């Protein structure tokens, strides 16, 4: 109904030559004020040079509403327009939801468009930590939202297996290997101390017992990389996350893409040498200071390969590029976008989602995390402790812009205090009711009389359910996916209130059939929403 009203009002505003920039529809806080309301008339007061009440009247005079959708409307001071939906409209919507089934909530905004979502992108130096987990779930859920909106989506993982970090990893594995072989060797300074390297060293010793301290470090580095990447992939797979592409940063050097970017920027007079380093003249683009692209040591900063990588993304034909980064990228990505812009690419196609840090709480204790020291919590350990469903939900139940305290005590509760349990229980409760109806021989189909659904809590449940497609679009437009778990929680709350106030199975068979049909629609809405989030949908609990 919201889309219907928006189109009707927007068309009328165009006829009147009035802007539609202030056109928004929302649900009134009080049921007596209708199902949808807009304050567009008040926003047009200056443009139209009329009182809002007069503007509202002018807008409505030229619109012919379908009586099967809008039963009536009213103008309320100081200029609100309130709309009341027709009872048979709700019945039609409920039937349509059941007919759509797994398609309910999907849209075609991204039809025939290609999107790429880059996320995780951790270098293969250790298992994924609790911190990596947030980005993993954010990226995968964003990709699902895009798929539900018709996009052809590529999930991509960008990594670097060269440089100082990887050299330290190889040296650390060699030390562990030699120690296991009976040749005690100290870890290098700033080496990796995690127990995972001991396991990898033990496997290497079994497969290649002939190695020594004179063996090329490349052998140890590559073996460590392969073993750790397998750990990473296995962890992601536990959460249902499968990347389509693993893109190696080193290929940008091998294929000359780094030099191509430097050459293009030099042609724009945006690169110069100073203090032994190579600089990006960002002050010429409105920034407060220039940025180093290549250090005096000859080592590039993150900005340069990121520029080359994103140039390749555009060349691969993506219509939408979504980057999911940690807070440490806050200062670097504007420089990358600036470089892409001067190279002639439409940076409006690039959307950057920055997420804040995660603090894992064990009681009152904060667990510290490090990929080099031994005392860190892996994502696998968190999954073992609280389960995949809880991990996925907790990581996205708050805005990515907010710091996240992961409450283990709450996560492990099997009560309605735990939002994951609350949602899954709502779905399982409906499944139980439907089974009981079947056992009692109460059958129903699309011919049920849905006009019997008139109670306030019943209508509130219906209206909440009808918001699902809109919520998918909202997540798509804003790339803020925490709105979806918040919505599903509201839907479950409306369901529990309905169930408390209304007896579903009673002696009144027509009414029982209508309520059962409604619950079938709510059940599949919950299922679809949980599937977008990558959370399991139990039939029994």
Question: How confident is the model over 360-410, as pLDDT tens digits?
Answer: 888 788 866 554 455 568 899 999 999 999 999 999 999 999 999 999 999
Q: What is the pLDDT of residue 162?
A: 83
Average pLDDT over residues 423-427: 97
Q: What is the pLDDT of residue 163?
A: 84
**Confidence class for position 306, pLDDT limits 50, 70, 90:** very high
Average pLDDT over residues 276-284: 95
Q: What is the pLDDT of residue 372?
A: 44
Taking the model in full, what pTM does it have?
Answer: 0.90
- Quick one: DSSP state of residue 401? T
Average pLDDT over residues 113-140: 95
Q: What is the pLDDT of residue 368?
A: 65
Q: 128: helix, coil or strand? A: coil
**Confidence class for position 277, pLDDT limits 50, 70, 90:** very high
Q: Please name every residue paired with 323 in a beta bridge, in sequence order, or none if there are none.
A: 118, 352
Dist. CA 383–CA 387, nearest whole Å = 5
Dist. CA 231–CA 223, nearest whole Å = 13
Report the run of H or E that residue 386 belongs to, with start and end.
helix 379-386
Alpha helix (H) residue ranges in 62-194: 87-100, 130-148, 164-180
Residue 64 has pLDDT above 90, yes or no: yes
Alpha helix (H) residue ranges in 270-365: 303-315, 333-342
Average pLDDT over residues 256-273: 96
The overall average pLDDT reported for the chain is 94
**Confidence class for position 538, pLDDT limits 50, 70, 90:** very high
Q: What is the pLDDT of residue 255?
A: 96
pLDDT tens profile 160-205: 988 889 999 999 999 999 999 999 999 999 899 888 999 999 999 9
The answer to whether the CB of 469 falls within 8 A of the CB of 149 is no
Instruction: Write the DSSP assignment of 225-272 as a string of letters.
Output: HHHHHHHHHHHHHHTT---SEEEETHHHHHTTHHHHHHHHHHHTT-EE
Dist. CA 252–CA 78, nearest whole Å = 61
Torsion angle, alpha carbons of 246, 251, 255, 260, to 10: 90
Preceding peptide of 360 cis, ω within 30°: no
Average pLDDT over residues 415-434: 96
Q: What is the CA radius of gyration of the chain?
A: 29
Q: What is the pLDDT of residue 223?
A: 97
**Confidence class for position 330, pLDDT limits 50, 70, 90:** confident
Residue 116 has pLDDT above 80, yes or no: yes
Q: What is the pLDDT of residue 247?
A: 97
Mind listing the domains of the chain with CATH numbers? 2-85 (3.30.1360.70), 114-119+132-157+243-355 (3.40.50.620), 164-238 (no CATH), 416-533 (1.10.730.10)
- Quick one: DSSP state of residue 385? H
Average pLDDT over residues 336-358: 96
């Amino acid at each position: 109904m919201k889309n219907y009203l928006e189109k009707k009002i927007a068309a009328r505003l165009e006829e009147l030559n009035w802007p539609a920039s202030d056109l928004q529809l929302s649900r009134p806080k009080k049921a007596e004020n209708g199902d949808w309301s807009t304050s567009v008339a008040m926003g047009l007061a200056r443009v139209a040079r009329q009182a809002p009440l007069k503007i509202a009247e002018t807008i409505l005079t030229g619109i012919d509403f379908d009586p099967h959708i809008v039963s009536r409307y009213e103008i309320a001071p100081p200029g609100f327009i309130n709309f009341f939906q027709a009872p048979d409209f709700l019945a039609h919507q409920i039937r349509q939801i059941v007919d759509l089934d797994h398609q309910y909530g999907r849209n075609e905004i991204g039809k025939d468009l290609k999107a790429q979502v880059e996320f995780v992108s951790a270098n293969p130096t250790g298992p994924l930590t609790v911190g990596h987990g947030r980005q993993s779930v954010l990226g995968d859920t964003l990709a699902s939202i895009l798929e539900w909106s018709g996009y052809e989506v590529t999930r991509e993982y960008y990594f670097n297996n060269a440089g100082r970090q990887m050299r330290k990893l190889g040296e650390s594995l060699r030390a562990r290997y030699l120690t296991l072989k009976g040749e005690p060797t100290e870890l290098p300074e700033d080496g990796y101390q995690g127990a995972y390297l001991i396991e990898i060293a033990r496997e290497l010793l079994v497969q290649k017992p002939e190695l020594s301290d004179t063996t090329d470090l490349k052998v140890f580095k590559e073996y460590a990389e392969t073993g750790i990447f397998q750990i990473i992939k296995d962890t992601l797979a536990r959460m249902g996350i499968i990347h389509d592409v693993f893109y190696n940063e080193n290929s940008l050097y091998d294929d000359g893409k780094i030099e191509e970017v430097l050459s293009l920027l030099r042609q724009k007079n945006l690169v110069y040498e100073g203090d032994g380093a190579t600089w990006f003249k960002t002050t010429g683009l409105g920034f407060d200071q220039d940025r180093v692209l290549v250090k005096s040591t000859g080592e590039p900063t993150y900005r340069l390969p990121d520029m080359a990588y994103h140039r390749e993304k555009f060349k691969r034909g993506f219509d939408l590029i979504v980057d999911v980064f940690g807070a440490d990228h806050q200062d670097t990505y504007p420089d990358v976008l600036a470089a892409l812009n001067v190279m002639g690419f439409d940076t409006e196609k690039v959307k950057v989602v920055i997420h804040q840090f995660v603090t894992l709480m064990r009681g009152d204790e904060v667990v510290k995390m490090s990929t080099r020291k031994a005392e860190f919590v892996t994502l696998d350990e968190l999954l073992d402790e609280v389960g995949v469903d809880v991990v996925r939900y907790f990581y996205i139940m708050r805005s990515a812009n907010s710091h996240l305290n992961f409450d283990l005590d709450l996560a492990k509760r099997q009560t309605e205090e735990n939002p994951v349990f609350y949602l899954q229980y709502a779905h399982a409760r409906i499944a139980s009711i439907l089974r009981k109806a079947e056992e009692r021989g109460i059958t129903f189909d699309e011919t049920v009389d849905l006009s019997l659904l008139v109670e306030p809590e019943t209508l509130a449940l219906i209206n909440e359910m009808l918001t699902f497609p809109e919520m998918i679009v909202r997540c798509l437009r804003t790339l803020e996916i925490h709105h979806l778990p918040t919505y599903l929680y509201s839907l479950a709350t409306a369901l529990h209130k309905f169930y408390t106030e209304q007896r579903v199975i009673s002696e009144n068979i027509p009414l029982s059939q209508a309520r059962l049909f409604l619950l079938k629609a709510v059940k599949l809405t919950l299922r679809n929403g949980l599937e977008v989030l990558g959370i399991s949908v139990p039939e029994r609990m």
